[in-house]
Amino acid sequence: MQIAKVRGTVVSTQKDPSLRGSKLLLLQFVDEEGHLLPKYEVAADSVGAGIDEWVLVSCGSAARQIPGNEQRPIDAMVVGIIDTINVDNRLIYSKKDQYTRG
């Protein structure tokens, strides 16, 4: 899985019928030090993530393992909202701090 920040939304009315009702999030990837990368993905969302939250995104056939999505033409899915990231026993991200600061 990759770490990504929810940056926005993509709206499409003329789409494959199986995608009706899916909210599509625009995600920007984050590196192992917490910096934004010049790489994005549009993903379906199974956990109710909101703008600015950091999430885990699964790509490829993994995206269709969430019940109800087995036959949707999606290749990326938000599978978790991140609470904390620790690297070398150092906290590099905490959702709680993020919102206290904001």
Q: Please state whether beta strands 76-81 and 36-45 pair in parallel, antiparallel, or not at all (unpaired).
A: parallel
Ramachandran quadrant class, 83 (left: phi over 0; alpha: psi -120 to 50; beta: rest) = alpha
State the amino acid at position 60 in one-letter form.
G
Instruction: Find the binder of a second copy among 15, 23, 34, 99 (CB under 8 A).
Output: 15
Min dist. Cβ of residue 34 to a second copy (A): 11
Compute the distance between CA of residue 86 and CA of residue 102 in angstroms, rounded to an integer.
21
What is the total count of residues that contact a second copy (CB under 8 A)? 58
> What does the block give as tokens for 54?
């950091």
Are residues 52 and 82 in contact, defined by beta-carbon separation less than 8 angstroms? no
Using CB under 8 A as the binding rule, whether residue 87 contacts a second copy is answered as yes
Residues 19-78 that bind a second copy (CB under 8 A): 19, 24, 26, 28, 31-32, 38, 40-43, 46-48, 51, 56, 58-66, 71-77
Q: Where along the sequence are the contacts to a second copy (CB under 8 A)?
A: 1-3, 7-16, 18-19, 24, 26, 28, 31-32, 38, 40-43, 46-48, 51, 56, 58-66, 71-77, 79-89, 92
